[in-house]
Amino acid sequence: MENKKTILIIEDERSLREALRDKLTREGFSTLEAKNGEEGLDVALREHPELILLDIVMPVMDGMTMLKQLRENAWGKNVKIIILTNLSDIEKIADSVKNEVYDYLVKTDWKLEDVVTKVRERLGE
């Protein structure tokens, strides 16, 4: 494959997931999708994306649980994560990940193009 960076989108709302996918693809990224934390963990550990866009409130396994488990993995410990949620509660975050370095974006406050900018920023482009 070309030097396209892969972004894993973990989001349970189909319409939002597809909007992100379409935009990121248009912007030149390769994308992967998952509908919940469990699927997302699976895909992440298998495909090793460059960056993960992670929603919090999801069925089966929520974002925080997935994050915790991901960080226990040797590769997962270092993968870049942007939390993309509509919860405005930083308190939702488990203590174990409180010192994480990640971005926390509230979806309603962020335009798609700004999300893309953030993604590029995190990837060091």
Partner 1 sequence: MTSQTPETFYKSIFENMTDGLAYCQMIFDAQKNPVDWIYIKVNKNFEKLTGLKNAKGKKVSKLIPGISASNPELFKIYGQVSLTGKPERFETYVAPLSRWFLVSVFSPQKNFFVALFQNITDRKQIEKNLEDARIAAVNVLDDLFVEKSKVETAKAKEEAILMSIGDGLITTDEKGNTIFINKAAEKLLGIKNEEISGKSFFESTTIENEEGVAVPLEKRPIHMALATGTTTTTTTTTTTGPTYYYVRKDKTKFPAAITVTPVILSGKVIGAIGVFHDITKEREIDHAKSEFVSLASHQLRTPLTAIGWYVEMLQSGDAGVLNDKQNKYLSEIYTGNKRMVELVNALLNVSRIELGTFVVEPEPTDVVLLARSVVDEQKSQIEAKKLKLSEKYAKDLPLFNADPKLLRMVFQNLLSNAVKYTPKGGAIEFALWMVKGGESVDVQKADEDSIAVKVTDAGYGIPKKQQNQIFTKFFRADNVRKKDTEGTGLGLYIVKAIVDHSGSKIWFESVENKGAIFYVTLPLSGMKKKEGAKALI
Binding residues vs partner 1 (CB under 8 A):
13, 15-16, 19-20, 22-23, 26, 57, 85-92, 106-109, 111-113
Angle at 114 between CA 17 and CA 44, to 5 degrees: 40
Tell me how far, at minimum, the Cβ of 115 lies from partner 1, in Å: 9
By beta-carbon proximity to partner 1, the closer residue of 38 and 62 is: 62
Provide the residue type at 49 as one letter. P
Tell me how far, at minimum, the Cβ of 9 lies from partner 1, in Å: 13
By beta-carbon proximity to partner 1, the closer residue of 12 and 76 is: 12
By beta-carbon proximity to partner 1, the closer residue of 46 and 111 is: 111
Sign of CA dihedral 78, 26, 19, 104: positive
- Please say whether the beta carbons of 31 and 21 come within 8 A: yes
Residue with tokens 């926390």: 104
